[in-house]
Amino acid sequence: METIINKVAESGIITLNLEDLLPKDIIVFDLKDFLFMELILKEKDYREALLTHDWTQYEQKDVILTCTADAIIPVWAYMLAAQYLQPVAKRIRMGKVEQASKELLLDTINQLNTDPYVDQRMVIKGCGDVHIPDEAYAMITFKLRPVAKSIMYGEPCSTVPIYKQKKV
């Protein structure tokens, strides 16, 4: 009987799954909860509410500042929330949850330590359980190209070549 050899496992290819880089601890700070009748921001009431708000729930979390109500929110209202979040939150982003989550992922990719990927053959995992924005695939390619021996897209058993280091 012939021994089955897993050539993919022996190839030394490193698979990078961008799902692993998605922010894990996201909390939404919705100004809607501070509006009078979900329409009007009253400065005095807002300031008092911020003073008594439990800020510990944001400890080392990624926070998305948003307002899901159809209301006009002055810029200073977001600034006030941000100044309370600064000592406790890991990072903050502002806007719609989907866009802000994408920005957090791109920020994580931008700060990724590439030392483990120097001179490595890389596969950036394709299809997964969670939608990964196209920008993340472009950003990880831009980040890894200077250090990786090769970059492929897909699964280790079926890849699309993206980049291969030229021999000097």
> pLDDT tens across 120-141, in order?
999 999 877 888 999 999 999 9
- Checking if the pLDDT of 105 tops 50, the result is yes
- Checking if the pLDDT of 83 tops 50, the result is yes
Task: Give percent above pLDDT 70 in the chain.
Answer: 93
Counting every residue written for the chain, the total comes to 168
Over residues 116-122, the mean pLDDT reads 94
Kindly give the pairing relationship between strand 62-66 and strand 121-125.
unpaired
Task: Give percent above pLDDT 90 in the chain.
Answer: 67
- Checking if the pLDDT of 17 tops 80, the result is yes
pLDDT of 23-56, one tens digit each?
888 899 999 999 988 888 999 999 999 999 999 9
- Checking if the pLDDT of 3 tops 70, the result is no
